[in-house]
Amino acid sequence: MATEIKVPVLGESVTEGTIAEWLKQPGDAVAADEPICSLETDKVAVDVPSPVAGVMSEHRASVGDNVEVGAVIAVIEEGATASAAAPAATPAPAPAPAPAAAKADTPAPAQSEALLNPAQTMSPAVRRAVLEHGVDPSTIKGTGKDGRLTKEDVLAAAEAKKSGGAAPAPAAPSPAAAAPAPAGAGRNSERVKMTRMRQTIARRLKGAQEQAALLTTFNDCDMSAVMEARDKYKDLFAKKHDIRLGFMGFFAKAACLALKDVPAVNAYIDGDEIVYHDYVDISVAVSAPNGLVVPVIRDADKKGFARIEQDIADFGARAKAGTLTMEDMTGGTFTISNGGVFGSLMSTPIINPPQSAVLGLHRIEDRPVVRNGEIVIRPMMYLALSYDHRLIDGREAVTALKIIKEAIEDPTRMLIDL
């Protein structure tokens, strides 16, 4: 029996997606709930699973096609077998068991994650295969559209690695090719279509500049107290909560204090009305393979440090794996973006519409400052608060940033809600 596979509901206000990669080709066997294709939306890439077991009969859409929710994209012959649907391929001889030394060379999960290059576009299925098999994607030649890696490319590389083989070496250059290149050669250009997510990021950021009256206020912050508290309690914290104590938890709690005291920074404009919130949902900017995403820590004002750090760690891991959902990134009343992890000294972050403010964190570095009439060295960080001046006055923005600075410099304020 033929079963049509339709584009599933992708989330609120999302009506279509783009076929990023077919994970199953016509003639391939498909298990129930097994992903058959990767679908890229404005916010995330999602795998479309098969509701039945059978064989992929046909594709109704091609890679790069825009497909609406509910559209038929494939047909699966339920209950069929791969041999019945397509000519059987000549089975390849089973590879000899890998020697123990080769098995020992397989990277651990943490090492495998280090192989992932944020600049290399990969679907969720491909990324999972890279992590599972511990292969370096930069050494694999992609056979997909525009040279993108497919799951089959990764599996073939993993099989070659297990059998002790290697990827085919490039053919030796012909004598003509070996001749010295003329001056100016090698200046190639490549035209690559923007992914749907990158198009959305570009549109939203440009829209924020055009619609909001953006302004940024700066301050600097002495990180001594937070660093001392972190060094003193990080081992106990990790032992009790099984999570590392980072700096983002401190800044999230400090931001909650500021947003409660200055409600306009936690609000947004909707037409000719202002929408205020009695809760704080903090969007945390996370670097994902296809661009910047902002998953949301719900009710951050009601959560403790451990839960906030756990949420952030979970978002980071799922952003790398490409498994964040639409629900993870829906909403948010305020954003924190940490450019310091990449070495940024100072920046003017752009707000995340429809929000009205974003806090930018930067790198910590020792600088000379004056304390009690003496020049001393302190670990300092520049803080930046960009805001929509249509809603937030300068006094409110400066006050909010000052509250965050004071809470970080004296963490006791977070405990007594001061």
For residues 166 and 157, what is the distance between their CA atoms, to the nearest angstrom?
A: 8
Rounded to 5 degrees, what are φ and ψ at 31?
-90, 160
Q: Catalytic pick from 133, 241, 277, 389? A: 389
> What Cα–Cα distance (Å) separates residue 381 from each residue in 25, 220, 294, 343, 398?
52, 6, 22, 11, 16
Rounded to 5 degrees, what are φ and ψ at 281?
-110, 110
Indicate the residue type of 386: S
In this structure, what DSSP letter does residue 100 have?
H
Beta partners for 52?
A: none
Q: Are 296 and 283 in contact (CB under 8 A)?
A: yes
In this structure, what DSSP letter does residue 120 have?
S
Active site residue 362: no
* Full DSSP string of 156-216: HHHHHHHTT--PPPPPPPPHHHHSPPPTTTT------PPPHHHHHHHHHHHHHHHHS-EEE
Active site residue 393: yes
For residues 373 and 368, what is the distance between their CA atoms, to the nearest angstrom?
A: 12
Q: Are 149 and 142 in contact (CB under 8 A)?
A: yes
Lookup: tokens for 62: 């091609």
3-state secondary structure of 310: helix
Q: Catalytic pick from 261, 393, 410, 417? A: 393
Write out the catalytic residue numbers.
389, 393
